[in-house]
Amino acid sequence: MSKALDGHRARKRFGQNFLQDETVIDAIVDAIAPEPGQPVVEIGPGLAALTRPVLARAGHLHVVELDRDLAQRLETSPEFAGKLTVHRADALKFNFNELAQTLGQPLRVFGNLPYNISTPLIFHLLSHLNTIADMHFMLQKEVIERMAAAPGSKAFGRLTVMVQQACQVLPVLEVPPEAFHPAPKVDSAVARLVPYSESPWPVHDRATLNHVCHMAFHQRRKTMRNNMKKLMSADELESIGIDPSVRPETLGVGDFVRMANWITEHQRTL
């Protein structure tokens, strides 16, 4: 067990599972490949299993930690003196754009994300993509499968469309439960998200796209004609090349973007 685990109990309300497998840690740090001078930000450093090796390569690190006890440990540790900037904050509300502007360059963000906030946190980060260079996250394997899903699969859904419209999704490695303490009841995996400088599917308004995805996937077994009837008629769907009789998971990212852009252009009320 890592020395970092001494003296702290994982808290269920924060969804804490602490990484302790050195082989997995090394593989994740190699994937991140931090370099001196880069503005690297860790979400939820916990007991510093990833913090230490990333800091050793980067030279300085910003961390966002909600748990007051863990934040104080990091702030008062002689090991990190002068090398670590601790932001005591909820990552779901943290202004990553503001930090990037302060540092003067796009952020490299990484973290072992708590399972209970992983999806909303990814959506929060998608609203800050203009100031993020890349992201490396440990998540439930199921979440990464959803982010990387292809059209036609059961995993394809709102998260897929929202992430793939904005980022290239690259699965990095799978992580077994025994790599953590306490061991979670699910498998984990690591993915790299690289925001597009220009998306293959430019969208007028991301909030509209999110709403379209919510409407389309809320009842997956129904057809697009039924799911979208409050926003677009069957004829209107056909006018932009969408078959009203298909189920949402059979469509591609570009199809959802076309619907969102049509709704924005026609000023439909959401």
121 annotated to a ligand binding site: no
Q: Whole-angstrom Cα distance, residue 230 to residue 223?
A: 13
* pLDDT score recorded for residue 12: 42
User: Which of 153, 143, 163, 172 lies closest to 30, judged by CA?
Assistant: 172
CATH number, domain 206-265: 1.10.8.100
| Residue 154: per-residue pLDDT | 94
Each of the 270 residues of the chain gets a pLDDT tens digit; together they read: 334 434 444 444 444 578 888 999 999 999 999 999 999 999 999 889 999 999 999 999 999 999 999 999 999 999 999 999 999 999 999 999 999 999 999 999 999 887 788 999 999 999 999 999 999 999 999 999 999 999 999 999 999 999 999 999 999 999 988 988 888 788 999 999 999 999 999 999 999 999 999 999 999 999 999 999 999 999 999 999 999 999 999 999 999 999 999 999 999 888
Ranges of H-type helices in the chain: 22-32, 51-58, 68-76, 96-103, 118-126, 141-147, 158-166, 206-217, 224-227, 234-239, 253-265
Q: Residue 183: what pLDDT?
A: 83
pLDDT score recorded for residue 16: 53
Q: What helix, strand, coil percent values describe the chain, rounded to 5?
A: 45, 20, 40
**Cβ atoms < 10 Å from Cβ of 79:** 11
Among 101, 178, 174, which Cα is nearest to 138's?
174
Domains 3-195 and 206-265 share a fold: no
Q: Looking at residue 19, what is its pLDDT?
A: 86
Domain chopping of the chain, boundaries: 3-195, 206-265
* Residue 19 counted as an annotated binding residue: yes
Instruction: Place domain 3-195 in its CATH homologous superfamily.
Output: Vaccinia Virus protein VP39 (3.40.50.150)
Q: Is position 90 annotated in a ligand binding site? A: yes
84 labelled as ligand-binding?
no
Q: Return d(Cα 168, Cα 198) in angstroms, integer.
A: 11
Q: What is the pLDDT of residue 7?
A: 45
- 65 known member of a binding site: yes
Q: Is 254 annotated as a binding residue?
A: no
